[in-house]
Amino acid sequence: MPRTPLIAGNWKMYLNRAEAVRLAAAVAAASQGLTDREVMIAPPFTALNAVAEAVRGTAVKVAGQNVGWEKEGAFTGEVSPPMLLDAGAEMVIIGHSERRQVFGEDNAMISLRLRAALQHGLAPILCVGETLTEREAGSTFTVVEEQLAQGLADVTAAQMGKTVIAYEPVWAIGTGKTASKEQAQEVHAFIRAVLSRFYEKTLAGRVRILYGGSVKAENVDSLMAQPDIDGVLVGGASLNAKAFERIIHFT
Ligand code: PEP
């Protein structure tokens, strides 16, 4: 079964509401008429609703950059799944390496966030990936498998059908160093093999696996030509309307 490519932009902690709305309008215009791919943008929480309103009626999907695991309560700084839905998000990024590295989120916490998102009908993008030290120690596959096993704990087959995986080697994020297309394909194929051990092979064959890590206009085509790369999660280059437009229009 063919997998519809997903081009996702992660705006991180950038852009005020006016800037975000301007960029969202440019992304919507760049995506117009494209039916063979999906486009998603993840603005900061403060601009989420404004961006959702700006792209309403277009095919562009809006995502949160993280999500709390409780519906409501005394959880200062967290944003719950119903709040994200209320603001207009359909998707959410979970387990981004910046959350893991800078804010100490571990696999157990990420699993809670993922299951909460799914229970409330948000489609999650679960990010996995090794650090440079882990790659150099030869433990890339072990680390990624552990992140998948713990992150996807208790996720049913039906829920897995709505989940997207993003392979983001930590050493490639925001560093300008992209994994080679061979390095990326190798890990993507490994992820699909792990998923087909956890779930049915046909389901594993339907799951979209995105690559993230210094994706740019110049390297998107060769990455997207790999058989197990089903889209890209783009940080820096998604903040530039022209660059992201070129990425959306990968060939
Ligand atoms: C990201 O934020 O997920 C990311 C991959 O960033 P960049 O494209 O800037 O490396």
On whether residue 1 sits in a domain, the answer given is no
Ligand 1 atom closest to the CA of 127, numbered from 1: 3
Does residue 195 belong to any structural domain of this protein?
yes
Model pTM above 0.75: yes
Number of domains present in the structure of the chain: 1
Instruction: For residue 76, count other CB atoms closer than 10 A to its CB.
Output: 5
Residue 62 bridge partners (DSSP): 41
Three-state DSSP class for residue 108: helix
What pLDDT is stored for residue 201 in this prediction? 97
So what's the pLDDT on residue 2?
83
> What is the model's pLDDT at position 175?
86
Task: Please tell me the distance between residue 187's alpha carbon and the centre of ligand 1 in angstroms.
Answer: 17
**What does residue 126 show for φ and ψ, rounded to 5 degrees?**
-90, 120
Q: What is the largest CA-CA distance in the chain?
A: 48
- Lookup: tokens for 73: 């309560």
Residue bearing the CA closest to ligand 1, atom 2: 235
| Residue 81: strand, helix, or coil | helix
CATH classification of the domain holding 106:
3.20.20.70
Calculate how far, in angstroms, residue 144's C-alpha sits from the geometric centre of ligand 1. Answer: 18
CA 96/CA 9 separation, integer angstroms: 13
Q: Which residue lies with its CA nearest to atom 4 of ligand 1?
A: 235
Instruction: Note down the domain range covering 135.
Output: 6-248
Q: What is the per-residue pLDDT for 1?
A: 61
Residue with tokens 């209320």, as numbered in its chain = 86
Residues of the chain scoring pLDDT < 50 = none
Structure confidence at residue 176 (pLDDT):
83
Q: Please give the sequence-ordered ranges of beta strands (E in DSSP) within 1-114, or none if there are none.
A: 6-10, 38-42, 61-64, 91-94
Which amino acids bring their CB within 6 angstroms of ligand 1? 10, 12, 168, 173-174, 212-215, 233-237
Domain presence at residue 239: yes
Task: Quote the CA–CA distance of 127 and 169 in Å, as a whole number.
Answer: 9
Q: How far is the CA of 46 from the centre of ligand 1 (A)?
A: 20
